[in-house]
Amino acid sequence: MAVLANSAPHQHSQANSAEHDHEAHLREEHLMLDPRPRGEMNAMVMESMLVTSWKFWVVAVALAAVVAYCLGYYWYRMIAEGLGIAGVNRPVYWGIFLVNTVFWIGISHAGTFVSALLRVFKAEFRRPFTRAAELMTTFGLVQAGLSIFMHMGRIWLAYWLFPYPNERGLWPNFHSPLSWDFLAINTYLLSSTMYLFLPLIPDLAMARDRSTGWRKVLYRTLALGFRGTEGEWTHLRFAMNLFAFAILPVMFSVHTIVSWDFAAAMRPGWSSTIFGPYFVVGALQSGLSAVAMVIIVVRATMKNMKYFIRPEHLDAIGKLMLIISMAWAYFFFNDYLVQWYNGDKWTDILLKFHEEGPIGWMWYAMLILNVALPWLTLWNKNIRRNPTILFIIGFLINVAMWFERYIIIPTSLSINRFPFTYQFYKPGVEIPLSIGTVALFVLLYMLASRIIPLVPVWEVQEGQMAHSLRKFGKESIVTVSDLE
């Protein structure tokens, strides 16, 4: 790309004004070609953390109230009275709590996907929003963990799932997919938190040097004395690369293992061998849409974010959403086909129940919102670049993915091999508790945005530098891959 991406203004004549227009357009379009001085950019990110309007606190207090009432009060009641106030019954022993667990793990998937996979493949558009996506992973996993604990009959004994030393020599049962699940989610939470922290260190050091008071103490502690020497950078880059590669298999394993909770069971509709990749793709489907939603909200509400997050980024995420939607449709078809093809009587009844049962509308809504909606809209560049429309599409895809899990869990559990015991599922306190987890997610994200630089400044600066350096044609050109 023969573009002069220098921040200094150029002398130009009337004759090359068309070229200048083109240059200005590229500048406006691409963050990497629109560099600003380091000090200015650092100040912009600091400002985005420090400037907090009264509206922020109104929303935060409202969300805290929702969390306290929906999550705190109802969960307290459920622990004190038992799961009777929820909607589970026989045979629908797993309800919305597990739907939420799978849903939130799916959401948390894309954070790492965007960050690690795009880092490994050196996709330039990832630079400004990796942090926002990684934070989503961490807070999404918190909600998933809470939903599992809500689901348990005796939460106060949840520590028995840990392989902790005890005098009776009792271990968790490693035959159980739930034990695998527990270990996989813990591994993912730990590794994704470390992966969030590593690229954060230079930004924390930047913030440390530009803040005072309690923030200074906090950032000084968290930055671990990072000074930006060549040796520190080398170590940090090595660690980040290592984690980016290592976390990818962990990410795939987590959702595959979540799918084994169902696939390993002896139930019509659940024991499907394709569930592993189907769940991974489903997780990416909902997770990428959630990334789109999050960065659109961040861009609209936080100061200076319109500089960092541009239509080109929404465009790139929109394309990914379209591709993943196609992959999801393929795996859905695959899953349906192999179940339908084997001709098992109970599976046939179940598949018919999905489509024609009392909540068959959910099955059709899932297909329309997950397949028809992205396929009909996201091919269009103008739609992909429009924040409002992309937000709505992302939201609807997430609704559809929630429906998908709802169909797999409570709806499938209604049907078993004994028609005498068929029973429908009516959610009880699951509804306020679900609202509570969503509110908690948003609240945690909002509070974190006050403390954590949501844009990895050093990464943006690195990319811009690499792009700017290309103009010194005959000199040795520093490329992005050289930097990493």
Partner 1 sequence: MAKHNIPEVKANWEATEGMWGMSIDMDVCTGCQACVAACAMENNISFVGEEDAGYGRSLHWMRIEHTWQGEYPEVTPTSFEPVLCQQCGNAPCEPVCPVFASVHSKSEDLNLQVYNRCVGTRYCANNCPYVARVFNMRDYDRPDPLSNQLNPDVTVRRRGIMEKCTFCIQRIHKGQDQAKSEGRDVLDGEVVPACAQACPADAIVFGRIDDPESKVSLLAKSGRGIQLFEELGTLPRVTYLKEEKTYGRTG
Instruction: Verify binding: residue 160, partner 1, rule CB under 8 A.
Output: yes
Region of 162-170, 240-248, 437-445, 474-482 interacting with partner 1 (CB under 8 A):
162-170
Which is nearer to partner 1, 145 or 387 (by Cβ)?
145
Of 74, 182, 219, 403, the residue at the interface with partner 1 (CB under 8 A) is 182
Nearest CA-CA partner of 72 in 377, 349, 446, 436: 436
Nearest CA-CA partner of 398 in 103, 135, 142, 132: 103
Instruction: Verify binding: residue 360, partner 1, rule CB under 8 A.
Output: no
Q: Which long-range contacts link 424-428 to residues 24+ away (Cβ below 8 Å)?
A: 424/92, 424/358, 425/87, 425/88, 425/89, 425/92, 425/95, 426/87, 427/86, 427/87, 427/95, 427/96, 428/85, 428/86, 428/87
Shortest Å distance, C-beta 366 to partner 1: 22
Burial track 317-337 (b if 16+ CB lie within 10 A, e otherwise):
bbebbbebbebbbebbeebee
DSSP letter at 419 equals G
Instruction: Verify binding: residue 187, partner 1, rule CB under 8 A.
Output: no
Which is nearer to partner 1, 152 or 326 (by Cβ)?
152
Radius of gyration of the chain (CA): 25
Instruction: Verify binding: residue 266, partner 1, rule CB under 8 A.
Output: yes
Shortest Å distance, C-beta 158 to partner 1: 7
Shortest Å distance, C-beta 176 to partner 1: 4
Residues 394/451, Cβ–Cβ less than 8 Å = no
Of 10, 175, 345, 474, the residue at the interface with partner 1 (CB under 8 A) is 175
Of 51, 123, 158, 242, the residue at the interface with partner 1 (CB under 8 A) is 158
Sign of the alpha-carbon torsion through 474, 478, 479, 481: positive
Distance CA 205, CA 226 (A): 6
Shortest Å distance, C-beta 421 to partner 1: 5
**Both tokens of residue 151?**
């689901």
CA 89 to chain centre: 32
Shortest Å distance, C-beta 152 to partner 1: 5
Of 89, 211, 304, 334, the residue at the interface with partner 1 (CB under 8 A) is 89
Instruction: Verify binding: residue 172, partner 1, rule CB under 8 A.
Output: yes
Instruction: Verify binding: residue 321, partner 1, rule CB under 8 A.
Output: no
Residues listed for the chain: 484
DSSP letter at 206 equals H
Shortest Å distance, C-beta 400 to partner 1: 24
Residues 369-408 that bind partner 1 (CB under 8 A): none
Instruction: Verify binding: residue 430, partner 1, rule CB under 8 A.
Output: no
Instruction: Verify binding: residue 2, partner 1, rule CB under 8 A.
Output: no
Nearest CA-CA partner of 137 in 445, 405, 449, 459: 445
Which is nearer to partner 1, 181 or 459 (by Cβ)?
181
Q: How much helix, strand and coil, in percent to the nearest 5, is found in the chain?
A: 75, 0, 25
Instruction: Verify binding: residue 145, partner 1, rule CB under 8 A.
Output: no
Instruction: Verify binding: residue 415, partner 1, rule CB under 8 A.
Output: no
Instruction: Verify binding: residue 65, partner 1, rule CB under 8 A.
Output: no
Residues 281/103, Cβ–Cβ less than 8 Å = no
Of 15, 39, 420, 475, the residue at the interface with partner 1 (CB under 8 A) is 420
List residues near partner 1 by CB under 8 A: 81-84, 88-94, 151-154, 157-158, 160-161, 168-179, 182, 261, 264-267, 413, 416-421, 423, 426
